Amino acid sequence: MKKQSPSPLLPRLQTLAFSTALLLLTVVCAPGQDDFPLEPADTSSPRATLRSFLEACDEIYAIMQKEEHEGAERDAATHDRIADRILDCFDLSQEAEFLRRERGERTAVCLKEIFDRIDLPPDNEIPGPEEIAASSENGGLKEWRLPHTAIRIARVEEGLQQGEYLFDPATVALAPRYYKAVKDVPYKPGASRKFYQWFLSDPGPWLAPVVHKLPDWARTTFWGNHAVWQWAGFLISLVAAAFLIVIFFSFGRRTGHKIRTTSVFRYCLTLVFPILATLTPLVFSDFVREQIRFSGLVLSMTTFTANLIFLFGVLLVIVGAGSRIAEIMISHPKIEAKGLDAQLIRIICRVLSLLTALIVFLEGGKYLGIPLTTLLASAGVGGVAIALAAQDSLKNFFGTMMIILDKPYRLGERIVAKGYDGIVEEIGLRSTKLRLLTGHQATIPNEEMARCDIENIGRRPHIRRVAELRLPIDTPPAKIQEAVELVREILDNHEGMQPEFPPRVYFTEMKPGILNLQFFYWYHPPNYWDFLEFSQLVNLRITRTFREHGISLETPLKTLNLKKSAEDTQSPDAQGNDAGGQEAPSA
């Protein structure tokens, strides 16, 4: 009997069984994604990018289904890891940095809904490594378009993701529009049903236990496809965030103003309140995105506004920190709190803090997606507007700088400026305050103080006295000489005298009816009240000594202004002549 040859089907079945076993063994033994948490999505070709995207979406949808139906606790780390792999498939370089994650997530759910409704080409019709290698001689494959759609996967030509094949920026921007065009098309078998609806209304882990117990009407969607509970939670959190911002800022400002001059340490601690107010918008934005799960235009506007408020809050914190650093430096015992050195420290810290704030403003504007040219133009226009509106303030500021550099006076010195005679009580950034000798306070803008003539009495090294003694015209020469010698003896080596400033006494003038003696002396140090005490002592000694030696003093003449009579005014002799008064001896 002829031996029957084996059927050709048997080897095929054996090969198929072996291949299947090998595939299962590979799947079971292959390391999972969790074993390599930093493993990025494969975007080496359009085929790999599309496959990576669909697998990650299916994986996160399976986790979502398990959480919803089995009540499993949400693993935020796993969610974020899978979401990062999904975002790796998109070219988000054209989006503002603060919007990239939200735009990427929204694009992902829209594309997944689209792919669950339309037929995708088989893998061999999607360009893979072989097609890319074959096209390398012609510059390589630049893009691949999903048949009968405008969805494209393109090669990134520059940046950190250069050479990767990603869903291009146009697909990212128009994905919601593409989804609206196919949302009424039936799902394919095995599709991730209501994936988009889950993305819009599924609560975060903090709110999930509460939201799942709400009645059905609270989960009804309207305007923007968001549920009633989402809008209610958004409004409540918005009011709470605004209330906290106002409370933190107002309380910090009021408290800081009160204790600024009493305790530097407590004044520095008040910076905590504006910091809390600055962080509040970020917490609110994160709560809206992660817990209330808002998306779309509402989330974009909320995130942009929150980041903008945060940016301005950071600018205020920087300026406040500069002010507190200045106060810490001024608290040094060698620095006068209201002196020019203290003002110079305040100005330097203020300028440095403003420069830092400007840099942060430009960087923050780039993060918000505002072009640098627009920021610079806005800063220039704003600077011109501020300069025009604050010309006087700028003049006073530069006047302050001139006073600080030139230092014509200091705190506590007595000066005469613009007709005011007083003690310098405060040198501010805008004006100088004088405590007049009458007790009144005069405030003079620093712009005027920098231009006017200033007599600094407080810096005189001594007080000089020039006095006259009038002797009768018939005083004998011997008595005149004796009077000069007596005054010299009284002033010789007097109190407050320094050798280089000896007293001087001279017979200086002969006037009608009197002989004039003049004496000079310089009193050190320039203590005005001690000087007056000494001058009084000198006057008493001169008076007593002259009487003892029989030397008399002439009484000063008094000038009387006599009013003209009507007849004198009308007389010819009075016309053209000014006989306004005459000198007469006083009684």
> Does residue 452 sit in the same domain as residue 468?
no
Alpha-carbon span 453 to 22, nearest angstrom:
100
- Residue found by looking up tokens 């040094």 in the block: 332
> Does residue 453 sit in the same domain as residue 482?
no
Residues sharing a CB contact under 8 Å with residue 270, sequence separation 6 or more, in sequence order? 252, 255, 256, 259
Please, what is the end-to-end C-alpha distance for the chain in angstroms? 177
> Does residue 260 sit in the same domain as residue 356?
yes
Alpha-carbon span 10 to 4, nearest angstrom:
14
> Does residue 419 sit in the same domain as residue 368?
no
> Does residue 237 sit in the same domain as residue 197?
no
> Does residue 338 sit in the same domain as residue 469?
no
Helices and strands in the chain, H and E counts: 19, 15
> Does residue 132 sit in the same domain as residue 100?
yes
pLDDT tens readout for residues 183-215: 889 999 888 877 776 666 667 777 877 877 788
Q: What is the pLDDT of residue 23?
A: 39
Residue 401 lies inside a defined structural domain of this protein:
no
Identify whether 122 is preceded by a cis peptide bond (ω within 30 of 0). no
> Does residue 354 sit in the same domain as residue 249?
yes
Residue type, 551: I
Alpha-carbon span 184 to 173, nearest angstrom:
21
Residue type, 407: K
**At CB < 8 A and 24+ separation, what contacts does 171-177 make?**
171/107, 171/111, 172/90, 172/91, 172/92, 172/94, 172/95, 172/103, 172/104, 172/107, 173/94, 174/150, 175/106, 175/107, 175/110, 175/111, 175/114, 176/106, 176/107, 176/110, 176/296
How many other C-beta atoms can be found within 10 angstroms of the C-beta atom of residue 341?
Answer: 18
Question: How many domains does the structure of the chain reveal?
Answer: 4
> Does residue 452 sit in the same domain as residue 464?
no
CA dist 517 → 173, 213, 245, 468 (Å): 101, 109, 78, 6
Domain of 140, in residue numbers: 32-202
Q: What is the pLDDT of residue 476?
A: 92
Query: Which of 465, 458, 475 shows the shortest CA–CA distance to 537?
Result: 465
> Does residue 36 sit in the same domain as residue 157?
yes
Residues sharing a CB contact under 8 Å with residue 6, sequence separation 6 or more, in sequence order? none
Query: Which of 155, 58, 43, 151 shows the shortest CA–CA distance to 88?
Result: 43
Residue 399 lies inside a defined structural domain of this protein:
no
Strand partners, 584: 558
Alpha-carbon span 233 to 296, nearest angstrom:
17
How many other C-beta atoms can be found within 10 angstroms of the C-beta atom of residue 199?
Answer: 19
Residues sharing a CB contact under 8 Å with residue 15, sequence separation 6 or more, in sequence order? none
Residues of the chain with pLDDT under 70: 1-37, 68-75, 197-202, 223-225, 296, 338-339, 371-394, 556-587
User: H or E stretch including 455?
Assistant: strand 454-456
Residue 305 lies inside a defined structural domain of this protein:
yes
Residue 441 lies inside a defined structural domain of this protein:
yes
- Residue found by looking up tokens 């992902």 in the block: 108
Residue type, 489: E
147 near 121, Cβ under 8 Å?
yes
- 3-state secondary structure (DSSP) of residue 321: helix
Query: Which of 121, 117, 162 shows the shortest CA–CA distance to 145?
Result: 121
211 near 198, Cβ under 8 Å?
no
Q: What is the pLDDT of residue 384?
A: 63
> Does residue 517 sit in the same domain as residue 374?
no
Alpha-carbon span 170 to 153, nearest angstrom:
10
Strand partners, 471: 515
How many other C-beta atoms can be found within 10 angstroms of the C-beta atom of residue 226?
Answer: 20
Q: What is the pLDDT of residue 472?
A: 92
Alpha-carbon span 487 to 545, nearest angstrom:
9
Residue 73 lies inside a defined structural domain of this protein:
yes
Query: Which of 449, 416, 412 shows the shortest CA–CA distance to 430?
Result: 449
* Structure-derived torsion over alpha carbons of residues 82, 87, 88, 91, reported in degrees to the nearest 10: 170
Residue 209 lies inside a defined structural domain of this protein:
no
- Which residue, 185, 202, 219, sits at the end of a domain? 202
- Which residue, 389, 419, 436, sits at the end of a domain? 389
Residue 522 lies inside a defined structural domain of this protein:
yes
Question: DSSP string of 235-246?
Answer: HHHHHHHHHHHH
Residue 22 lies inside a defined structural domain of this protein:
no
> Does residue 250 sit in the same domain as residue 181?
no
CATH number at residue 427: 2.30.30.60
